[in-house]
Amino acid sequence: MYKRNSFRIACRIVLFFFGMGLLYSCSSTKKIRNQNIEQVITTAKSYRGTPYRYGGTTRAGMDCSALVFQSFRSVGVTLPRSTAEQIKVGKKVSRNKLAKGDVVFFATGNRRRKVTHAGIVTQTGRGNIQFIHASTSLGVTEDNLFSTYWSGKFLQGRRVF
């Protein structure tokens, strides 16, 4: 009887500490994820004002996919270089579930379903989702996803991590 109770107690103790480890691990992982998201956004914002240059990847000039590529690279995440390949990475997220750090994709050309543009969500709020991107006319800038122009061009969002 004594051995049986000791075994049960030992099992409960092990399960307790295992459970605590999982909780700590999850909260630690969430904290790291949030830090990474903030770093991605900070990096993207550091490029504000950089002129648009098709195929460009530096502060002298960059395109939208380079902004996404460089921003995620700052936290050790290597994404493909083109929007056509970037849209395949991560988990698809609906417009109403977008969060900071999600990548948003648009069809700005004549073909309504062909991805041609990308940006990174920097802020979310009711009716106001801000994203940073490399605009052909303004360079790296932030816009509201729900503006008349961008709302009609939105294709999908992707959560990289």
Catalogue the active-site residues: 64, 117, 133
* CA 112, chain centre distance (Å): 23
- Measure the CA–CA gap between 100 and 134, rounded to whole angstroms: 17
Burial 104-135 (b: 16+ CB within 10 A, else e): bbbbbeeeeeebbbbbbbbeeeeeebbbbbbb
Q: Which of 137, 134, 124, 65 is nearest to 97 (CA)?
A: 124
